[in-house]
């Protein structure tokens, strides 16, 4: 089978590499891919927004499975368009992608299905938003642009002056373009962040290993938000009890909501969570694999990923057993270029990639690179993700930073504290294997869903 991966980031490099390992796959193509995928895939010169070009390529190449990585083409309906042509597509249609594409849609959905999240207000006028902010007494407040902003549309503000400045920038100056036409202002939640990703065909969910992402650009979680500065997995504080809570209070009701609303969701549902003292709360939904979370998922997944992608696309995920996972730890350090998440230079030659991959159990996933003759050049802000396995987080961390240190270009930087967070709550341990739930329609009952959870391994 030929598989087409749509996208050009580290996530797509990781997926393409994992897919390429499958015995079911004869060739992996990327649209457009990057300098990393060029080494083992056929990169097609197609932009992710070129839906007509991608559809044509699928037909001409006889593609058996399309995996759509980024949110923009999903929100634009690329999944719907390709499915209408009879293709097997991993990735939700435009309706499902609204969970990510519109913060307002997501908040209203969360409210409708009573899924725990922060209290919020919506504003379509800057004046009203600022009046509200000047009157509110509890700080911080979180200002979120409604539309897609590449992880850069969320601002934790500590006083009215700061928050009103953000509202002016986003809504009046349109620093994030159309994404800032409306804003959500929500209460600030304290706790620990956790990303939970599941593959789902709308009826069955297959839980992927929890991965911790470091979102802020500066060490100690300081500075503006980014798409993600590094990852580690497993996440020590995730107990079986917490996973069950997440499943029952968040994942199941989300799936239920999708079914009730008639949304046929086939792809990754990603719940960005805050684990508060009162339990898990949804920060955001994404409608696709996380980047760089996927780099850790692909490194730790021992099973062939292709049957899972295909079964999700074809709506028969319930036929599969849960995937097997490498018990080793994974750490990924994102190498950025000076200026990110603001403006930055591109076209800088990168040295030392081979030496970095010579570090044991280390893969350098390319996020923003392109090949130019014999050179690999930077082409984005998050350029690489140096990702290592190790017997524990310390070893994985040492390897990832060793690999990072062997790479060089002018203006390279990273966070030096990736993977340093440690379990703090006594009695909370990492599950031996992730839980796995089946959700099925049951005719003749008022609730369209029935749940049976199995395959939990010997959890504490
Ligand atoms: P989001 O894109 O909505 O996940 O937000 C990006 C980041 O902003 C999150 O990962 C959190 O670190 C932070 N954040 C967003 N909403 C809140 C909130 N209500 N309370 C605290 N932090 C938040
Ligand atoms: N790393 C966060 C995201 O993919 O949204």
| Helix pair 103-112, 94-101: axis angle to 10 deg | 100
**Is the pLDDT assigned to residue 370 strictly greater than 50?**
yes
Looking at per-residue confidence, does 149 or 260 come out higher?
260
**Is the pLDDT assigned to residue 445 strictly greater than 80?**
no
The band of 426, judged by pLDDT with boundaries at 50, 70 and 90, is very low
The band of 446, judged by pLDDT with boundaries at 50, 70 and 90, is very low
Give the mean pLDDT of the chain.
91
Is residue 156 in contact with ligand 1, taking CB distance under 6 Å? yes
Ligand 2 pocket test target in 293, 294, 332, 341 with most atoms within 8 Å of CB: 293
The band of 421, judged by pLDDT with boundaries at 50, 70 and 90, is low
Question: pLDDT tens for residues 34-72?
Answer: 999 999 999 999 999 999 999 999 999 999 999 999 999
Strand partners, 451: 439
Question: pLDDT tens for residues 228-261?
Answer: 999 999 998 899 999 999 999 999 999 999 999 9
Question: pLDDT tens for residues 324-347?
Answer: 999 999 999 999 999 999 999 999
User: Nearest C-alpha to atom 4 of ligand 2 is from which residue?
Assistant: 290
Is residue 272 in contact with ligand 1, taking CB distance under 6 Å? yes
Ligand 1 pocket test target in 105, 151, 156 with most atoms within 8 Å of CB: 156
Question: pLDDT tens for residues 273-287?
Answer: 999 999 999 999 999
How far is it, in rounded angstroms, from Cα 263 to Cα 310? 19
Least confident residue range of 81-90, 200-209, 242-251, 419-428: 419-428
pLDDT (mean) for 417-427: 60
Is residue 106 in contact with ligand 1, taking CB distance under 6 Å? no
Measured from the Cβ of residue 228, the count of other Cβ atoms closer than 10 Å reads 25
The band of 149, judged by pLDDT with boundaries at 50, 70 and 90, is confident
Question: pLDDT tens for residues 177-191?
Answer: 999 999 999 999 999
Contacts for 235-238: CB closer than 8 Å, 24+ residues apart: 235/194, 235/210, 235/211, 235/430, 236/422, 236/423, 236/428, 236/429, 236/430, 237/192, 237/275, 237/423, 237/424, 237/425, 237/428, 238/194, 238/210, 238/428, 238/430, 238/431
Give percent of the chain above pLDDT 90.
86
User: What burial class does residue 444 get, using C-beta atoms within 10 Å of its C-beta: 0-12 exposed, 13-18 middle, 19+ buried?
Assistant: exposed
How far is it, in rounded angstroms, from Cα 138 to Cα 364? 43
User: Nearest C-alpha to atom 3 of ligand 2 is from which residue?
Assistant: 290
Ligand 2 nearest-atom number relative to CA 231: 1
The band of 151, judged by pLDDT with boundaries at 50, 70 and 90, is confident
Least confident residue range of 294-303, 364-373, 437-446: 437-446
Please name which ligand lies nearest the alpha carbon of 297: 2
**Is the pLDDT assigned to residue 210 strictly greater than 60?**
yes
Enter the tokens of residue 157.
């503000």
What is the bridge-based pairing of β-strands 141-145 and 154-157?
A: antiparallel
**Predicted local distance difference test score (pLDDT) of residue 225:** 85
**Is the pLDDT assigned to residue 439 strictly greater than 60?**
no
CA dihedral (155, 160, 164, 167) positive or negative? positive
Domains of the chain: 2-93 (3.40.50.20), 125-181 (3.30.1490)
- CA dist list (Å): 438 to 116, 142, 157, 369: 22, 35, 40, 39
Please name which ligand lies nearest the alpha carbon of 270: 2
């Amino acid at each position: 089978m030929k598989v087409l991966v749509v996208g050009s980031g580290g996530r797509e490099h990781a997926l393409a590499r994992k897919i390429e390992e499958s015995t079911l796959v004869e060739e992996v193509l990327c649209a457009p891919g990057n300098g990393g995928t060029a080494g083992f895939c056929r990169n097609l010169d197609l932009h992710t927004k070129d839906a007509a070009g991608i559809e044509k390529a699928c037909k001409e190449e006889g593609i058996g499975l399309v995996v759509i990585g980024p949110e923009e083409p999903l929100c634009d309906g690329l999944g719907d368009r390709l499915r209408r042509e009879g293709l097997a597509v991993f990735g939700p249609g435009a309706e499902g992608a609204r969970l990510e594409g519109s913060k307002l849609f997501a908040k209203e959905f969360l409210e409708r299905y009573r899924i725990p999240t922060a209290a919020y207000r919506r504003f379509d006028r800057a004046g009203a938003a600022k009046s509200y902010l000047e009157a509110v007494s509890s700080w911080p407040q979180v200002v979120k642009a409604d539309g897609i902003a590449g992880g850069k549309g969320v601002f934790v503000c500590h006083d009215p002056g700061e928050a009103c400045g953000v509202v002016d920038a986003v809504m009046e100056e349109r620093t994030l373009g159309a994404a800032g036409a409306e804003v959500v202002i929500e209460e600030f939640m304290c706790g620990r962040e956790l990303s939970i990703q599941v593959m789902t065909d709308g009826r069955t969910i297959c839980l992927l290993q929890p991965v911790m992402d470091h979102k802020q650009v500066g060490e100690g979680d300081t500075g503006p938000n980014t798409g993600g500065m590094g990852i580690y997995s497993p996440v020590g504080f995730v107990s079986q009890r917490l996973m069950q809570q997440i499943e029952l209070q968040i994942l199941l009701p989300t799936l239920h909501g999708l079914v009730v609303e008639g949304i046929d969701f086939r792809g990754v549902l990603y719940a960005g969570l805050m684990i508060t003292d009162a339990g898990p709360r949804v920060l955001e939904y994404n409608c696709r694999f996380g980047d760089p979370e996927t780099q850790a998922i692909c490194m730790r997944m021992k099973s062939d990923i292709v049957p899972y992608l295909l079964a999700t696309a074809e709506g028969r995920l319930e036929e599969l057993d849960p995937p097997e996972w490498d018990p080793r730890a994974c750490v990924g350090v994102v190498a950025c270029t000076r200026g990110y998440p603001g403006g930055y230079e591109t076209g800088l030659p990168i040295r030392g990639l081979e030496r970095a991959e010579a570090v044991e159990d280390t893969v350098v996933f390319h996020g923003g690179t392109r090949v130019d003759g014999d050179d690999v050049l930077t082409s984005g802000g998050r350029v690489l993700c140096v990702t290592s396995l190790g017997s524990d987080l310390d070893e994985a961390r040492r390897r990832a930073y060793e690999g990072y240190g062997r790479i060089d270009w002018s203006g390279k930087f990273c966070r030096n504290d990736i993977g340093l967070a440690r379990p703090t709550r006594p009695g909370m341990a990492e599950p031996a294997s992730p839980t796995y739930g089946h959700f099925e329609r049951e005719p003749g009952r008022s609730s369209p869903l029935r749940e049976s959870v199995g395959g939990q391994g010997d959890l504490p």
